[in-house]
Chains A and B, each alone.
Chain A
Amino acid sequence: MSNPNPDLKARVEELANTRLSDCYQCGKCTAGCPRGDVMDVPPTRIMRAVQIGNVEGAARADSIWRCLSCLTCSARCPKSVNVSGVIDALRQISVENGYLSSSSVKITEFQKSFLRNIRRNGRTNETEMGVDFEVRYFLRRFDVMNALNTAALGPKMLTRGKMHFKLGSPVKDKALVKRIFEKCGVEL
């Protein structure tokens, strides 16, 4: 276990807008989590780790990237702790510090492709985003099966008119969107 870091703990509370000490470890968040069975560190234990100041340990857990952001944990918490907000904060801290676990690479690459796409177009062009993500992920991992699986969706989507190579109605003020990303300090 890494050293407790009070600054990072305060940052989690601020980002999640919640009081970590409110959690009394009842486990309801984990009981209702649709992904609890595939998590290395379930939500209850993530909460405990952050409570005792082991933010780095929590931010290195694979489980924060298995979370679907479905918000069931936060909705059901008897103490109204924003558990999913804590997980979001840990993801942000994990990205900022390069704490990525091996299975998180795919999800962070996807999210970065998504945001790069918005920064460029103002709206998501799913085809362009999909290609950007698959190519970058392939170059990092050489995961042939993943590339083939996703490519298999192409014809299905094309024949249903669900794949578009150009945005139907593009954003006019794209420069503004780029400025918003810059001013928020987003690095992709």
Chain B
Amino acid sequence: MNIGYYPGCALHGSSVDYETSVRACMKALDVQLDELEDWICCGATAAHSINHKLSVALPARNLGIAERMNLKQVFAPCPMCSMELKKASDELHADPNLCAEISEIVETPLVGTVDVWNLIQVFQSVGYDNIALKATGKLDAFKPACYYGCLLTRPPKTVNFDDPEDPTSMEELLSKLGASPVDWNSKTVCCGAGLTLCDEAGVARQVRKILQDALDSGANCVVTACPMCQVNLDMRQADAKKLGLAQDVPIFFLSDLVSLALGLTPKDLDFQKRYVAIPNELQKA
């Protein structure tokens, strides 16, 4: 399978380990990634807080690049990027005048033929059963709390993915690979990553609340498909411990666990870059 690939800024910065993990996993699944030529930032929260038009234009530029490259699907591993790309696409579809104006602003004709996928949707298109067939080991030791955060399922009409209150697509995949995902309450509670440099105290409280719920529900790790959730839950865990978080919680990317099941090693996945050390029993399937 060949799909377009929009890494987004985080995967070239503080979440380089996510890009390593995603690329290793896709290679193991024979999914070829065609990176968008000269892609630019999607604008994230800052753009839509300060200038609405900019928040459409920046993602639209990337959609235009994908159209020029004749790509039918673009995989954006960061849910913020994939949501912003989808939202811009919807707005351009809904309003021909806006579409014409934005096409002019971004100097690229926009037609609106590109589908945007998150990480889980890539796994779904490969097929959970096909992934399980390729697996060389079982994730027996893993009792993950699957964490969706905000933007994988919200806004529901834009992302049109899973149940916004009780999503289960990660649990289904990981169960097929031998893991025992726990049932828990905080799977869609915001971790506050967007304000991690602006409101440290508030963010630490969110992180503690979420991770303590994971522990209380019997999890031995948290799995996410978002670079900002991962880095925030991982890096801010020291602050959460000061607020009473009982113990370390290793934070994985979904692609890490799939990769381990496919026989890849911690070195292939940059585990040494994580803030909270990953215990030996969770380093292999």
Contacts and interface: CB of A to CB of B under 8 A. Distances in A.
Interface stretch (B12-20, B125-133, B260-268): B12-20
B41 A124 contact: yes
Interface in A172-188: 172-173, 176-177, 179-181, 183-186
B167 to A, nearest CB: 12
A167 B13 CA distance: 8
A27 interface: no
6 contacts: A68-B190, A70-B154, A92-B51, A126-B9, A177-B40, A181-B54
Contacts of B16: 161-162
Nearest to A37: B205
Contact of A72 (B54, B57, B154, B195): B154
A81 B180 CA distance: 38
Contacts of B9: 123-124, 126
Interface stretch (A2-10, A40-48, A49-57, A111-119): A111-119
A97 interface: no
B197 interface: yes
B178 interface: no
Chain B CB within 10 A, most for which of A72, A114, A172, A181: A114
Interface in A64-120: 66, 68-72, 74-75, 88-89, 91-92, 95, 106-108, 110-112, 114-115, 118
A31 interface: no
A185 B49 contact: no
B61 A71 contact: no
Contacts of B51: 92, 184-186
Contact of A68 (B39, B107, B153, B192): B192
A107 B155 contact: no
Nearest to B49: A91
* Chain B interface mostly: helix
A115 B156 CA distance: 27
B1 to A, nearest CB: 24
A136 B86 CA distance: 33
A150 interface: yes
A75 B164 contact: yes
A140 interface: no
A95 B49 CA distance: 9
B185 interface: no
Q: Give the residue among A69, A95, A127, A153 with the most B Cβ atoms within 10 A.
A: A69
Of the candidates B155, B197, B200, B273, the one having the most CB atoms from chain A within 10 angstroms of its own CB is B197
A157 interface: yes
Query: On chain B, which size bracket covers the interface?
Result: 35 or more
Given A106-B199, A149-B200, 15 more contacts: A68-B195, A69-B194, A70-B150, A74-B154, A88-B49, A107-B195, A107-B199, A111-B49, A115-B47, A115-B50, A122-B41, A123-B40, A153-B235, A162-B17, A176-B61
Nearest to A167: B12
B50 A160 contact: no
A3 B249 CA distance: 51
Nearest to A69: B45
Given A106-B198, A125-B13, A184 B154 contact: no
Nearest to B15: A162
Given A69-B49, A150-B197, A180-B106, A114 B190 contact: no
B48 interface: yes
Interface in B86-115: 104-107
B84 to A, nearest CB: 11
A124 B47 CA distance: 13
A130 B197 contact: yes
Nearest to B200: A149
Contacts of A70: 150, 154, 190
A95 B51 CA distance: 10
